[in-house]
Amino acid sequence: MKLNELTLTEVIAGLKEKKFSRVELVSAVLARINAVDQKLHAYLTLNENVLQEAKLADESGQEVLGIPVAVKDVLATQGLRTTASSKLLEKYVPVYDATVVGRLRKAGALIVGKTNCDAFAFGASTENSGYGPVRNPWALEKTPGGSSGGSAAAVAADECIFALGTDTGGSIRQPASFTNTTGLKPTYGACSRYGLLAMASSFDCPGPMAKTVEDCQIIFDLIKGKDPFDATSSDVVKPVLPQEKVTIGLPKEYFAEGIAREIREQVLEAAKFLEEIGYNVQEISLPNTGYAISIYYVLVPSEISSNMARYDGIRFGRERSSLEEEVKRRIMVGTYTLSAGYFDHYYLQASKVRTLIQQDFEMAFKEVDLLLGPVYPVLPFKLGEKTADPVAMYLADILTVSANLAGIPGLALPCGFTADGLPVGLQLLGPHFSEKLLFKVGKDYQALTDWHKRKPVV
């Protein structure tokens, strides 16, 4: 196996046992990028100094990671161009690191480059990128999902050992499920948003995207925790630890009509498998699910319109008219819904319904320990297939947005393939700060299945 094909866990062990050097590891990753990224377009910017940094890490003799990470281009990296995949920031070079990036750097990780995504993370396919879309390593004419499609593709194609993404409405989980990789949307506040180019401040979550659940846990433990630069961040408070026999709930609203048959089948198979290996599985209801999208698309564009006001072309970036179309669209919606005379009808009302969504989860978690369901209602689609109708795209976020509305964590992992060889993923959702429980269930599943070990031929 080539060094770039190893998991993070394997690399950590390999470096410790001096089986290979960091220079060899990084060289393998760079060679892979050279070989396939013309086709995939997962990266927007590469760190020219990474091989030199690897050499220094090898020579330092310290127990540092020295492991190559790809960072979604909405996270600030000091000295390395950060565009948010928008033309507006084509020349922007941050003078500081995002906290999650800084914590990885402190642990010794090496940044290979910045990955492509939908512009400002607005989208679910990377087709809204100002620099052209990313292609799915499993099927080049299809999308790897979004908005963290570049990070997902880079992990799936072994163009890095692990990556960072962000999830505001599903943008880690959905691309993970489209690319046969594993991704965690942490509890809101568990990972600092400082340095994350803000989309929707009460929703945004940076998080790990990697080859296994175990890898995601290692990364999460490095980046999580209170940050004085982010007043909404917190330490993992009162962690919900696994009890004796864990009960998994299947929300019936997540398996309704409109979910592709093959997805429903693979996910239910996985649930059955978990039952066979000792978990309780039962049906549960999240009755207000029908309002999740309609409130999400009031609240998020509203918060977007406020956060995007900073792009005035004065302190950084180009003129505002260089913003991409989807970006302008969401700014406009949000400007309207927050404007005088409309705030109560739109934003305030949606915020009240948001309480009901959170209460649905609170009620459910009185009966079960965690939830299991599909991540997206349709399989990876062809580039260009859904760009004509933005509203239709929005509707497909139905399975992911509720976790962001309630601030709860979600772990997406591979659970099978369709007859055509397209990956299918499932997600585990738990109460606030229950990441440990999600990791336990995920690791149990991955210990006895090998979907996640399959690799695409690029």
Partner 1 sequence: MAELSKEEVLKIAKLANLELSEGDVEKFQEQLSKILNFVEKNSKVDVQEVRPLFNVTARENIFREDEVKPSLSQKEALANASASYNGYFKVKAVFED
Give yes or no: 2 in active site.
no
Of the candidates 21, 85, 86, 147, the residue annotated as catalytic is: 147
Residue 416's Cβ-side half-sphere holds a number of Cα atoms within 13 Å equal to 19
Specify the stretch interacting with partner 1 by CB under 8 A; choose among 85-93, 209-217, 248-256, 375-383. Answer: 85-93
Choosing from 6, 406, 413, 422, the residue that interacts with partner 1 (CB under 8 A) is 406
Q: In 3-state terms, what secondary structure has residue 344?
A: helix
Of 353, 378, 387, 418, the residue at the interface with partner 1 (CB under 8 A) is: 353
Pick out residues in 86-125 that bind partner 1 (CB under 8 A): 91-93, 95-96
- Strand ranges (DSSP E) for 243-379? 247-251, 280-284, 370-374
Helix (H) or strand (E) holding 116: none
Tell me if 81 sits within 8 A of 106, measured CB to CB. no
CA distance 71 to 55: 21
Coil/strand/helix, residue 283: strand
Q: Which two tokens stand for residue 420?
A: 């055509």
Site string for partner 1, 360-399 (x = CB under 8 A): ------------------------------xx--x-----
CA end-to-end span of the chain:
16
Residue 25 Cβ, how far from partner 1 at the closest point, in Å?
32
Whether the Cβ atoms of residue 412 and residue 425 lie closer than 8 Å to each other: yes
**Of 26-34, 154-162, 260-268, 349-357, which part binds partner 1 (CB under 8 A)?**
349-357
Site string for partner 1, 272-311 (x = CB under 8 A): -------------------x--xx-xx------x---x--
> Of 10 and 435, which CB lies nearer to partner 1 in the complex structure?
435
Q: How far is the CB of 161 from partner 1 (least distance, A)?
A: 30
Q: How many residues bind partner 1 (CB under 8 A)?
A: 57
Q: Which residue in the set 47, 86, 234, 402 belongs to the binding site for partner 1 (CB under 8 A)?
A: 234
Q: Of 343 and 453, which CB lies nearer to partner 1 in the complex structure?
A: 343
The minimum distance between CB 406 and partner 1, in angstroms, equals 6
Region 243-262 residues binding partner 1, contact defined as CB under 8 A: none
- The verdict on 328 binding partner 1 (CB under 8 A) reads yes
DSSP H or E segment with residue 114: strand 110-115
Report the residue from 146, 317, 430, 442 that binds partner 1 according to the rule CB under 8 A: 317
CA–CA distance, 458 with 436 (Å, rounded to integer):
34
Contact at 8 Å (CB) between 26 and 110?
yes
The HSE-up count of residue 226 (CA atoms within 13 Å, CB side) is: 6
Strands 68-72 and 162-166: parallel
Given 21, 72, 192, 234, the catalytic residue: 72
Looking at 55, 252, 329, 443, which residue binds partner 1 (CB under 8 A)? 329
Q: Could you tell me how far CA 34 lies from the centroid of its own chain?
A: 24
State the catalytic residue, choosing from 125, 129, 171, 234.
Answer: 171
SS3 289: helix
Strands ordered across the beta sheet of 182-185:
43-46, 110-115, 68-72, 162-166, 206-210, 182-185, 410-417, 423-429, 370-374, 247-251, 280-284
Shortest gap between Cβ of 92 and partner 1 (angstroms)? 6
Query: For residue 397, which of 58, 167, 219 has the smallest C-alpha distance?
Result: 167
Of 2 and 106, the one with the shorter C-beta distance to partner 1 is: 106
Q: Which of residues 165-224 bind partner 1 (CB under 8 A)?
A: 187-189, 202
Tell me how far apart the alpha carbons of residues 147 and 316 are, in angstroms, rounded to a whole number: 23
Q: Is 72 a catalytic residue?
A: yes
The residues of the shown chain that bind partner 1, judged by CB under 8 A, are 91-93, 95-96, 187-189, 202, 228, 231-232, 234, 291, 294-295, 297-298, 305, 309, 312-318, 320-321, 323, 328-329, 331-333, 335-336, 339, 345-346, 348-356, 358, 390-391, 394, 405-407, 432
Active site positions, annotated: 72, 147, 171
